[in-house]
Amino acid sequence: MPGSLSISVRECRLCGTDLAADNQSGLCSPCQHQSKASAAPEVPDDFWDAAPLRQALSDRHMGQVIRAYRQHPFHRAAFGRRGIPQSSVGDWLVLTQAQVSRMESGSPPRNLDTLIHIARALRVPPGLLWFSLPQTESGAADRPHLPRQDQHPEPVVQASQEAWRSVRRRLNAERAVLSEAAAQLYDPTLRVESSALLAPAAWLAQEPVPLERVTLRWDPAPVVPILDGTAHESLGTRPLRLPDQRFDRYTLAVRYLDSPTLFENRPSYRLTGVRWGGDGAGELRFSLATYFDKLDLCEAIGHEFAAATESGSDHPRWGQLALRRAVGDPFDLRIRPMIPAITTLLLRRRPDGEATFFLHWRDPGRVATAGGLYDAIPAGEFQPSSVLAPPDGPDFDLWRNIVRELNEELLGAPEFDGSAGRPLDYERWTLYRALQRGRETGAVRAYCFGVGCDALTLAATIPSVLVIDDGIFDELFGDIAPQNAEGITVAALPEQQPATGIPFTEQNITRFLRNEPLAPPGAACLALAWKHRRLLLAPSPCAP
């Protein structure tokens, strides 16, 4: 029904240029070009009356809403007969073309965050949705009501955003150097094995603790944090979004000005207690928060540090670091939501007791954090596998989280990342069962070293190590994916296959610790694993 559309806008909505009489898009060609690349265009009200859209909305299937939206006759003028390509919609939604395709043809996405994100990105009128959009104070900032632009028309906004991008680029490009400089702000005894991962003595176990001896406890009533990403001390790390208003949170600035490929908020576990006993066992307590609770504060703390070093000094003083100062004690789990990642060094143990290890390279353009660095693999946030799963249910387990990351990062398999509609059934999952059997025979062993914070961002990590005997390794990980969706490449020596790993020798360890950009959690894992190598590589008790 293209004939029924009536467009009254006669000036380009973005730059105000007069439009040609036959221009029905509401945008002049340059702006149209830009908006095609970055955000959904404005559509007339009766756009949403189209039958396929109504059907998809009444079926509550956001994937089919995307398809009906793309193929709407309105878009033919700007995008051609076949409507908007999946890849363009993917750009607006910060998803890959493949993810858009799966969403359109698969079962309806159920993660509320995902639904809200899509509804906002496509500007679906709230009245047509089967869920409500959050009406928060930050609602206005959260909604991409203007197409994202490289250049905001207001010079003051433009300058602020450009300066922010420049610091952000520097933060991403120089994380290793900046972490080392930030570590010098703290008591040197806090450094874990001379790395830029910091931990008080009470946070580290005396010896690696077998994962089965780490008890996880659910904290039903954690102390409410008194510092979060909206803190006024973080204002300096947030660019202007309008001449008189800054972005409300750091993640909003990232989303609109520097969005990596994967940038989605998900439920994540919040650490509320750490206790290591003298008996070689330990206990970690957790409640629930979100991934962005972590990034809002930690990335802003890192940004503040990067900005302070830009002014020439390599070693900023506390005076320039208002947000870091406000945190005070980085190890008080109550002050701010402490949302740890789990970083695991993978060791492949040969029958002769020698071993190889694995590192990956993180592409700064595709990952939100720790880009431009080597890090241990697998590494990932500690998160429930599905929003529908009870947070204190089967997913509330360090080992299962590590296996999910192994699956994703080494095998390139889809991530069980909290966006799935169904809770994961571990016992029916072949890889999990195989590794579980390996743990029972001792051919697979997992240990936890404790908890630490990256000096640059104060983001928490649980460093751990996973030792897998050669035979079972080959069987399970013979086909290591050289690269996965997160922009991660498994590092290999020039003449070797990725699956072989890097020889676990003093020379190689020293090389990575001293000469390569290695993320502090990975550096701590590597150094701790080397320190405890006898225990870790001891012959497995049940090995033939």
Give the interface with other proteins as residue ranges (CB under 8 A): 223-224, 226-227, 231-232, 319, 322, 325-329, 332, 334-336
Minimal distance in Å, beta carbon 272 to other proteins? 12
Distance CA 177, CA 59 (A): 52
- For other proteins, the closer of residues 277 and 328 by Cβ is 328
Nearer to other proteins, 323 or 359 (CB): 323
Whole-angstrom Cα distance, residue 316 to residue 255? 28
Mapping DSSP onto H, E and C, the string for 219-256 reads CCCCCCCCCCCCCHHHHHHCCEEECCEECCCHHHHHHH
Question: Which residue number, 152 or 270, has a Cβ lying nearer to other proteins?
Answer: 270
From the CB of 35, what's the least distance to other proteins, in Å? 35
Residues 6+ apart with CB under 8 A from 182: 196, 305, 455, 456
Beta carbon nearer to other proteins, 326 or 431: 326
Q: Between 291-310 and 175-183, two packed helices, what is the crossing angle to 10 degrees?
A: 80
Give 305 or 382: the residue with its C-beta nearer to other proteins: 305
User: Cβ(359)–Cβ(379) under 8 Å?
Assistant: no
Tell me how far, at minimum, the Cβ of 296 lies from other proteins, in Å.
Answer: 15
Cα 283 to its chain centre, rounded Å, is 26
Q: Give the 3-state DSSP-derived string for 398-461, with helices as H, strands as E and coil as C.
A: HHHHHHHHHHHHHHCCCCCCEEECCCCCHHHCHHHHHHHHHHHHCCEEEEEEECEEECCCCCEE
Q: Give least dist CB 233 to other proteins, A.
A: 8
Closer residue to other proteins (CB): 67 or 303: 303
Q: How far apart are CA 347 and CA 343, in angstroms?
A: 13
Secondary structure (DSSP) of 326-365:
HH--TT-TTTS-B--EEEEEEEEE-TTS-EEE-EEEE-TT
Is 321 or 377 the residue whose CB approaches other proteins more closely?
Answer: 321
State the nearest-atom distance from the C-beta of 305 to other proteins, in Å: 17
Query: Strands, DSSP E only, in 74-202?
Result: 197-198
Peptide bond preceding 243: is omega within 30 degrees of 0, i.e. cis?
no
Residue 135 or 507 having the CB closest to other proteins: 135
Is 113 or 248 the residue whose CB approaches other proteins more closely?
248
Question: What helix, strand, coil percent values describe the chain, rounded to 5?
Answer: 40, 20, 40
Residue 438 one-letter amino acid:
G
Rounded least distance, CB 292 to other proteins, Å: 20
Query: In the complex, what is the shortest distance from the CB of residue 223 to other proteins, in angstroms, rounded to a whole number?
Result: 7
Q: Which is nearer to other proteins, 331 or 432 (CB)?
A: 331
Q: How far is the CB of 327 from other proteins (least distance, A)?
A: 6
Q: Are 263 and 274 in contact (CB under 8 A)?
A: no
Q: How far is the CB of 304 from other proteins (least distance, A)?
A: 13
Sorted by sequence, the CB contacts under 8 Å of residue 330 that are 6+ apart come out as 186, 198, 453, 458
SS3 170: helix
Please state the closest distance from residue 183 (CB atom) to other proteins, in A.
19
